[in-house]
Structure 1
Amino acid sequence: MRVALVAESFLPHMNGVTHSVLQMVRHLERRGHETLVVAPDGGGKRESAPYGRTELLPSMPMPSYPDVRVAYPTTARLARVLRDFHPDVVHLASPFALGWKGQAAADALRLPSVAVYQTDVIAYTERYGVPGAVPLASAHVARLHKRATLTLAPSSASEAQLAALGVDRLRRWGRGVDAERFRPDRRSEGWRARIGRGELLVGYVGRLAAEKQVEDLRVLCGIPGVRLVIIGDGPERERLGKLLPGAVFTGFLGGDQLAKALASLDVFVHPGESETFCQTVQEALASGVPVVATGRGGPVDLVRSSVDGWLYAPGDLDDLRDRVLDLTGDDAKRRSFASAARESVVARTWESLGDQLIDYYREAQRLRPLDDASRGRELTRREGVAPPERRPWKRYIALGDSLTEGLCDTSRMADGQYRGWADRLSTMLAQGLGRFEYANLAVRSRRVRDLVSEQAPQALAMKPDLVSIFMGANDLVGHSADPLRLAAHVEKVVRDVRDSGADVLLVTPFLPDRPAARIFTRRFTLYATELRRIAAATGSYLLDAAALPALRDGTMYADDMVHLSSRGHRYLAYRAAEALGIPDAEALGRLDDALHGFDPVDDPAPQGDWLRTHALPWVWRRMRGRTAGDGLLPKHADYVVIPGRNAPKRSKLS
């Protein structure tokens, strides 16, 4: 894969954006991918990335912050740079000015883009008090990230902020930590003696700028037996020297010097409320240092209050002081928090984050053609728009074909019986409810006409409050299928269900990643685009399975290479739960997959066996006008009761 990384900031100016870009370039090159970094030059200093290619563009310094430089190329020039490199995907690192041109160039070249949200520009403009700048910055951020194929947010606070601006296709991508460099045994008693002369050290690491709110640390000055340590530099250095009497300012530290300083602190503090992630908090935790940070923004996802640190009420400086006093005044608690701090981050490696990013690149490659199809039909891309507010459903009915029936998912089932993603979803929906009713009217080989004439009327008569609709694949592989006409029939069903007062979970059909399936790609793409529009127009929940790169993985499929395996059904169930807003669905899905494990098939069945066992019988039935579902009835034509968490019995579906 060839990846072009367009970065707002780069060497020699070292900050969070530069650091993460360097980490990703290193990881991509090690994985055998080719990279190009496009970034502002350093004025008189020009420094290339240590790996891959670098294209530095003319830039000018920001008037109030000369260390930050802004590049000003034309879109045409940037498009030429990208075209010469022939990237497969464009990575926009903390995009705003250069990133906007990068997105425009990507659109001109029809390249997928992944925008990484790293800087809360809106909060910065608010902090610096530029008249009228906040609405302009908000509109610009929203417009840019809506154009990106995917947006990666580092924290729950960032996701909520972007979602409130109407940004869709949000995915979570945090930051890795160098746990080899930042570790507790870097602690230096010699360094501590030079800085604090036997005192406890409470320190901050980061840029000294107004948006970091370092001046709030004035409430820590004068605490007996405690020395405040400020590590970093920036435009606020001189003013902070006057506001923080007795504090030790070390200036900028990097590399092993920073690792030694961090590990030598007793408590780390960070007062900034506009952090999208806050990498220094993570590095402090890796160094075995308990953290006191504001309960807003990125630190909320990093600090486990009362376990490895404290989150204080934003803006409440008395609370900040009390939390620091709690740790500096209790040696045993401080040691306990320090041990938990290290444990909390050791698994957050840049390697694992890099591999996750590569998966997002592949997802963006799959999504870009769908976006082009939507724009070609003057449709608005709607995947990712916040669904209706979740309510405690008590009656759920699943409609569909073999995938919703659960074909090939034999986990914990008797011979000839199948479980399936909808059965699994019903057990998650039942949690916390005293009584939950579930019906599954899906039957293998059914088509949209069966949804309209049989399944939907039967479901409406049963008065559910949630209905899932996963139908259309059998039609789309048929002769002369019309995706638009099929979608129109589905839309009528969706509107009828919504008019009854029930919610709808609409699922887009998907294709396995096999050469034989590619002849149907255009039909499935157009149909999925229509379903996205229908979900948005009717206020329905959307499980965009067609856009999930994991469903291209062969281990998700059964021996027939068409239906999902038990692992595939588990995966789809948790994605459905996530779409419906069930708490912690993503984390539970990863845990479930890890607990079950799987053995990838190293040598797939011989092509002749597959043709004889699966393909030829299917073709023979089609030629005779028959289907595998002829004469079959739904497995749960009436409601079955799924006990909730407090119920005395377990359902056979659990």
Structure 2
Amino acid sequence: MTKQLHPWSRYVALGDSFTEGIGDPEPTSPGGHRGWADRVAEELSQGTEDFAYANLAVRGKLIRQISTEQIGPALALHPDLITISAGGNDVIRPGSDPDAIAVRCEDVVRRLSADGATIVLFTGADVGFSPVFRGIRGKVAIYNEHLRAIATRYDCIVADLWSLAEIQDARMWAPDRLHLNALGHHTVARLVLGALNVPNALEPSEPEPMPGTTWRQARTEDLAWARAYLVPWVLRRVRHQSSGDHVLPKRPLAGPFRQPEA
């Protein structure tokens, strides 16, 4: 009989596009995306009899929506392990207040902790490397300080994206510059498993070297990115729309983890 490597048997992931796995397309996975949470579930399922996994995360969700739409269904699944990444979509919005967002986050964590599950809470990544998001680096840092304090009060495990230097590299990000690519998600999965102190088979991996570009080529790429991703994002904000409108959770029920077919 295989030795169980950890104490958890029912894992539920909550959050937004980061946890849904956007940026890591996998046609054979539920919802068409894999992501770090699926990778974590795959490793946790090794040697754990009757391991069950659900992923309730939906792209574009604000922390208020995560609170109202995901906590009830999550608790109904009786998890003993919960990962929650929330507030990122709030923080990036112009004029948002990281202090107020943190108040909502603490309420989410308080409710999730009521049944004694282990909770993993994520800090936001250090976006100083990104020309697109460098301007909100201070807000992310303030929010992170709140998250660390919340984690201390509710005995949460912190998966510290801010200190994860590997993802402070454009090669770890998808073409939209907002979501991690497959390698980025793989790297986050390693971070989470390390935070949980779970032995695993995920090896560190280096991105391919980027080809050199001229200033003109870089600006051309920036314009193409703005047309393809920034303008649609702004239009959704103006129209009060979300990329997650009419999108359902990819794994709404806690069930056995099945690896995508090759």
TM-score by length of 1: 0.37
Aligned-residue offset at 1:484: 1.5
TM-fit CA distance, 1:489: 1.4
Aligned partner letter, 1:458: P
* Superposed counterparts of 1:595-614, under 5 Å: 598-602=207-211, 603=213, 606-614=221-229
Structure-to-structure mapping, 1:435-584, within 5 angstroms: 435-512=50-127, 513-583=129-199
Post-superposition shift, 1:652? 2.8
The separation in 2 between residues aligned to 1:456 and 1:600, in whole angstroms, is 41
2: CA distance between counterparts of 1:568 and 1:523?
22
* Cα displacement (A) at 1:434: 1.4
* Whole-angstrom distance in 2 between the partners of 1:614 and 1:396: 33
Equivalent positions of 1:259-408 (< 5 A) are 391-408=6-23
**C-alpha separation in 1, matches of 2:100 and 2:227:** 34
Give the Cα separation in 1 of the matches to 2:114 and 2:6.
17
Let me know the Cα RMSD of the aligned residues. Answer: 2.1
Matched residue type, 1:442: A
Take 2:29 and 2:115, find their aligned partners in 1: how far apart are those partners?
Answer: 36
| C-alpha distance in 1 between matches for 2:62 and 2:14 | 11
1:601 is displaced (CA, Å) by 3.6
* Matching of residue 617 in structure 1 with residue 232 in structure 2: yes
Match of 1:588 in 2: 202
C-alpha separation in 1, matches of 2:147 and 2:58: 21
Identity across matched positions, percent? 37
Q: Secondary structure at the match of 2:38?
A: helix
- Whether the aligned pair in 1 keeps the contact of 2:29 and 2:260 (CA below 8 Å) is no
How many residues get paired?
251
Name the amino acid aligned to 2:259.
S
Partner Cα distance (2:32, 2:252) in 1: 15
Q: Which structure has more RCO (C-alpha within 8 Å, separation ≥ 6)? A: 2
SS in 2 for 1:639: strand
- Counterparts of 1:409 and 1:622, CA distance in 2: 24
Q: CA deviation at 1:653?
A: 7.9
Q: CA deviation at 1:473?
A: 1.0
Which residue identity lines up with residue 507 of structure 1 in the other structure?
F
Question: What's the offset of the Cα at 1:599?
Answer: 2.9
Which residue identity does 2:208 align to in structure 1?
Answer: D
Q: For the structure 1 residues 424 and 477, does the alpha-carbon distance in structure 2 shift closer, same or farther, using more than 3 Å as the test?
A: same
Sort the Cα spacing of 1:631 and 1:538 in 2 relative to 1 into closer, same or farther, 3 A.
same
Check whether the contact 1:423–1:653 (CA below 8 A) recurs between aligned residues.
Answer: no
For the residues of structure 2 that align with 1:542 and 1:428, how far apart are their CA atoms?
A: 19
Partners in 2 of 1:414 and 1:433 — Cα distance? Answer: 21
Structure 1 residue runs of 4 or more that deviate by more than 4 Å after TM superposition: none
- Find the residue that maps to 1:606 and give its secondary structure: helix
CA distance in 2, matches of 1:444, 1:412: 17
**Residues 63 and 104, structure 2, Cα contact 8 Å, conserved in 1:** yes
TM normalised by structure 2 equals 0.89
1:519 is paired with a residue whose SS is helix
Deviations 1:204-238 (A, max 9, x none): xxxxxxxxxxxxxxxxxxxxxxxxxxxxxxxxxxx
